[in-house]
Chain A
Amino acid sequence: MEFNVSLLGQALTFAILVWFTMKFVWPPLTNMMDERAKRIADGLSAAERGRQDLQASEKRVADELRKARQQAAEIVAGAEKRANLIVDEARVAADSEGARIIAEAKGRIDLEVLRAKDVLREQVAMLAVSGAEKILRREIDPAGHADLLASIKAEF
């Protein structure tokens, strides 16, 4: 058993086998593995993206909520302000209305007083005149002193 040329033939055969494997066996295998690696990477990145999306939307929701709450607070504040304004206006209107009513009532009362005074004056004058008449009936004739009596009546 020595080195012989058969080894060369075997080496050639082996070289062809290696070439065949490199050409037709290895590439599909590596392709499959690369494909698999890619799918794994894609899946992981998709998951990561989903997580980020979720975070972003959560943040947006929080923002929206905060904004809505702020708006609500603003609206409430504005409404309170308006309500106060309305109440104030109403109070002012009521005050002036009251004052007007009071003034009117006072005017009417004054009028009544004046009228009562007139009536009273007339009655007092008539009483005085009738009194004076009763006193003076005997001494004065009413015709002769009528102008005097009228001037007294005017003085009241």
Chain B
Amino acid sequence: MASNASEYIKHHLTHWNSSTGFWSLHVDTFTVSLILGFVFVAVFATVARRARVENPGRLQLFVEMIFDMVDNQVKETFHGKSKVLAPMALTIFCWIFLMNAMDMLPVDFLPMIAQWIGHTAFGADPEHVFLRVVPSADVDATFAMSLSVLVCIIGFSITSKGLGGWGKELLTAPFHASGAVGTVILAPVNLLFQLVELVAKPISLSLRLFGNMYAGELIFILIALLPWQVQWILGAPWAIFHILIITLQAFVFMMLTIVYMSLAAENH
């Protein structure tokens, strides 16, 4: 095991790529996140359609609980009017939670099934069947989400302040000058600051989630390299601790999205 440990780790950290280069697609990330998205939509849509006022089932209560939590967070933080934000926050929370939760499955479980299918059904070399099941440990997926959030931030800024208002804010904040000359001088500095701030938001969002999940996955892989009798000693506490991490990371991503949106919608 130790001799091919690096091979093992490398294999686990390689994506199922459709091809190579920029135009290749991480098929595993794409498929798993899509399936999880459908799971979320299916569960919530079913519960929403069957929702009863009297004698609600446990699943309905669970959904209501999550819904209330997200709704409260949005109401407390965001003071503008938006029909988009709360559903978006709910989707972000649930989807990221589900994607993170894939980390809880044994690291070899789905990859081995994939290898078996690839080998028996398609005659592929098992060494070249790759599957990474945690979409949020893929920097592409987290950046996709955070860049979508960036687009929403810009959209919110423009709809709430107008194109002119937003442009003015980009040039006159955070540094204010009293005279016209001072304003002109400070404009490029302000623009630079604002652009850095704007770019930093999606980067911090996506890298925070990616880093946490990647590290978690890596530790699971490392634990899987230990002799099987002792794996549980480290694996079980880490898995239990991970319950907290996956929930927290999903919550943080959602919460920061709400905060960024409310900052974008506020007038300075």
Contact = CB atoms under 8 A, between A and B. Distances in A.
B115 A10 contact: no
A20 B240 contact: yes
B236 A1 contact: no
A40 interface: yes
Interface residues of B, number: 39
A41 to B, nearest CB: 7
B104 A17 contact: yes
Contacts of A4: 1
B102 to A, nearest CB: 13
A13 to B, nearest CB: 3
Given A9-B224, A9-B231, A21 B243 contact: yes
Query: Chain B contact residues: over half helix, strand or loop, or mixed?
Result: helix
A33 B58 contact: yes
Contact of B11 (A1, A6, A32, A34): A1
Contact of B65 (A2, A12, A33): A33
A49 to B, nearest CB: 15
Nearest to A6: B224
A25 interface: yes
Contact of A6 (B55, B108, B126, B240): B108
Contacts of B129: 1
B56 A37 contact: yes
A16 B115 contact: no
A7 B55 contact: no
A154 interface: no
A11 B129 CA distance: 21
B209 interface: no
Contact of A9 (B112, B126, B227): B227
A10 B55 contact: no
A36 interface: yes
A4 B243 CA distance: 27
Contact of A11 (B8, B106, B115): B106
A33 B230 CA distance: 37
Nearest to A35: B61
B115 A7 contact: no
Contacts of A34: 58
A143 B265 CA distance: 159
A44 interface: yes
Interface string A15-55: 01100110001000110111011001100100000000000
B109 A10 contact: yes
A5 interface: yes
Interface centre among A1, A8, A41, by most B CB within 10 Å?
A1
Interface in B103-139: 104-109, 111-112, 115, 126-127, 129
A94 B227 CA distance: 130
Nearest to A40: B56
Contact of B236 (A8, A17, A37): A17
5 contacts: A6-B1, A6-B108, A7-B106, A12-B231, A44-B54
Interface of B: 1, 8, 11, 53-56, 58, 61-62, 64-65, 104-109, 111-112, 115, 126-127, 129, 223-232, 235-236, 239-240, 243
